[in-house]
Amino acid sequence: MPNPDPALCRDLAADLAAAGLRSSALRDAWGAEADDAVRRGLRTPGLRALADRDDALATLARLLTLGRTQPTEAVDRALPTARSRGLVALGLAQRDGDLVRPVATIRPQDSLGAEWWIVAGLDELASDSGALAEDFVLGVGRASLTLAGLQLPTPAGRVLDLGTGCGIQALVARQHADAVVATDISEPALACARLTALLNGASGIETRRGSLFDPVAGETFDRIVSNPPFVITPRTADVPAYEYRDGGLVGDALVEQVVRGAGEHLVPGGACQLLGNWETRDGVDGLDRVRAWVESSPVPLDAWVIERERLDPIAYAEMWIRDGGTVPGSPAHDRLLGAWLDDFAERGVTAVGFGYVLLRRAAGAPTLARYERIPQPIPDETALGAHLADALAVHDALAVVDDEALANATLRVAPDVTEARHHMPGEENPTLIELRQGAGFGRSVQADPALAGLVGASDGELTVGQIVGALAQLLEVDEEALSGSVLPAVRALLVDGFLRFA
């Protein structure tokens, strides 16, 4: 793709808006069932629903969303200002006689609290061959939405989007930042990111080509976001190296390099958020290996690492072989599976974890080192960024609050928290009390009667110390000992959002 002409992009955006190429309009045009099918990579239901229509929305949906060649005359009617020649000039389509053949997709995306047009490559939905080119540019997938939802929604000066791909993370970051530098090793990806930014009128996004931190050597940022090509891929000639998912390094070395190198490119207090895979290797747990990467950073880092999923080598290889479009049971599938298992066996890999990494450059000694597994469903991944920001703010506030000050604080239980008590048949007292969170990470915490009582009494009226005193009398235990056992749990509940300062 050539460097896009901003004026032509404005014309194209105006045409797309006039045609109504929006997510809700497409759902209305082809119906809820076809919309679900399209999201699963099946275009036939959408094409059937639009078969009898020749309006602008139908033409552009077939051409730019579903990847079907359209008559030049119909495209020119649908894009009265940019016209088909504008798509060709921008590198989005090619002319073939009286037909216009797409070479990229433009799809509306409304899952992130805003409506954007995203430029990306021809994926399995839009491609007739089903095979992906190694320099294919991925659009907005599940991982993209996950990281976008994780981004801290707090003001920032400069943000680095490391491995920008189609540019979706840069758009999300720009909502809260003064400027964004978006980097990628792939020129096709940078071209898509530039077009994505221009079509959506997003200024202040600069693209640079290069590997990892090379394009920003010597620079620091308030925030770094990265959905890097973290997929672990065998380094053999007969295994496709898709740029959108494979960083070209052995094992999880690319994620390791991002974690080790991020701190030097953050201002003090600046945060880095990324997704990644990590291997459990030679008996060393994957989260422990990530901890070692963090601790080897040349600058001190706070760290909060969450493993969401853990797969054995066979399941991991199967997932990514399918992602490349290879049919299970075929000779090619068997060959690729063998290559992946050989690669894992050579390094002693017994499991691969996937999760979220939140790093922060500490102004002094690190105060946060949290490595945990959260396998349960999350109520709303798009709201995790706000939850993380609140948790960091509470963590920082509690760092300067001693137990005496905490005892004098008044708290409220969060409105999404519920309590469940489990009883053995015929027993009056519960054998288990659970505090359940309906937001955030959807955590469930086991509580003893004292902690459950404190949470239940936290309505913003009594101080923590007053509640502890009353509970000590009720339970007939020593107040000082009860305070010593309850206050650490209260701190944890505050950070995790079960409790709030009144």
Question: In sequence order, what DSSP letters do the residues of 237-252 get, joined into one string?
Answer: TTS---TTTB-SSSTT
The phi and psi torsions of 93 (rounded to 5 degrees) equal -155, 165
pLDDT value of position 427:
84
Q: Is the pLDDT of residue 268 over 80?
A: yes
CA–CA distance, 376 with 277 (Å, rounded to integer) = 18
Q: Name which residue leads in pLDDT, 116 or 429.
A: 116
Instruction: Give Cα 95 to chain centroid, integer Å.
Output: 36
| Residues 30-75: tens digit of each pLDDT | 999 999 999 998 999 999 999 999 999 999 999 999 999 999 999 9
* CATH numbers and ranges of domains, the chain: 6-103 (no CATH), 142-235+243-311+354-376 (3.40.50.150), 403-501 (3.90.930)
Q: Is the pLDDT of residue 244 over 90?
A: no
Q: Is the pLDDT of residue 135 over 90?
A: no
pLDDT value of position 127:
85
Q: Is the pLDDT of residue 311 over 80?
A: yes
Q: What is the mean pLDDT of residues 460-473?
A: 97
Q: Is the pLDDT of residue 124 over 90?
A: no
- Residue 246's nearest CA partner among 395, 132, 382, 168 is 132
Q: What is the mean pLDDT of residues 209-218?
A: 96
Q: Is the pLDDT of residue 13 over 70?
A: yes
| Residues 322-351: tens digit of each pLDDT | 888 788 888 989 999 999 999 999 999 999
Of 115-119, 269-273, 381-385, where does mean pLDDT reach its minimum? 381-385
Instruction: Say if residue 344 is exposed, middle or buried (CB neighbours under 10 Å; 0-12, 13-18, 19+).
Output: buried
pLDDT value of position 208:
97
Residues 491, 395 contacting (CB under 8 angstroms) = no
Q: What is the mean pLDDT of residues 408-436?
A: 93
Label residue 376 by pLDDT band (50, 70, 90).
very high
Of 8-22, 107-121, 154-168, 294-308, where does mean pLDDT reach its minimum? 107-121
pLDDT value of position 61:
97
Q: Is the pLDDT of residue 146 over 70?
A: yes
CA–CA distance, 10 with 388 (Å, rounded to integer) = 36
pLDDT value of position 2:
60
Instruction: Give Cα 74 to chain centroid, integer Å.
Output: 37
CA–CA distance, 419 with 444 (Å, rounded to integer) = 9
DSSP string, 327-349: PTTSHHHHHHHHHHHHHHHHHTE
Q: Is the pLDDT of residue 1 over 80?
A: no
pLDDT value of position 38:
93
- Count of residues making up the chain: 502
pLDDT value of position 193:
97
Q: What is the mean pLDDT of residues 313-318?
A: 96
Burial 152-179 (b: 16+ CB within 10 A, else e): bebebebbbbbbbbbbbbbbbbbebbeb
| Residues 156-181: tens digit of each pLDDT | 999 999 999 999 999 999 999 999 99
Strand-pair partners of 156: 177
Strand-pair partners of 100: 70, 95
Label residue 276 by pLDDT band (50, 70, 90).
very high
Task: Locate 102 and state its tokens.
Answer: 């797409």
Strand-pair partners of 118: 107
Of 128-142, 234-248, 419-433, where does mean pLDDT reach its minimum? 128-142
pLDDT value of position 131:
67
Quote the mean pLDDT of the chain: 95
pLDDT value of position 351:
98
Q: Is the pLDDT of residue 230 over 80?
A: yes
Residues 113, 91 contacting (CB under 8 angstroms) = no
